[in-house]
Structure 1
Amino acid sequence: MKIHVEKLDKICIQPQLLLWMFSIHHHFIFYKIL
Structure 2
Amino acid sequence: MARLTLVLVIVIVVLAFHPTCFEARKLLNNFEKQQ
TM-score by length of 1: 0.77
- Name stretches of at least 5 consecutive residues in structure 2 with no aligned partner: none
Match of 2:7 among 3, 12, 15: 3
Q: Which runs of 5 or more structure 1 residues have no equivalent in the other structure?
A: none
Pairing of 1:8-23 with structure 2 (within 5 A): 8-23=12-27
Matched residue count: 31
RMSD after superposition:
0.7
* % identity of equivalent residues: 6
Question: Structure 2 length as normaliser, TM-score?
Answer: 0.76
Offset, 1:29: 1.1
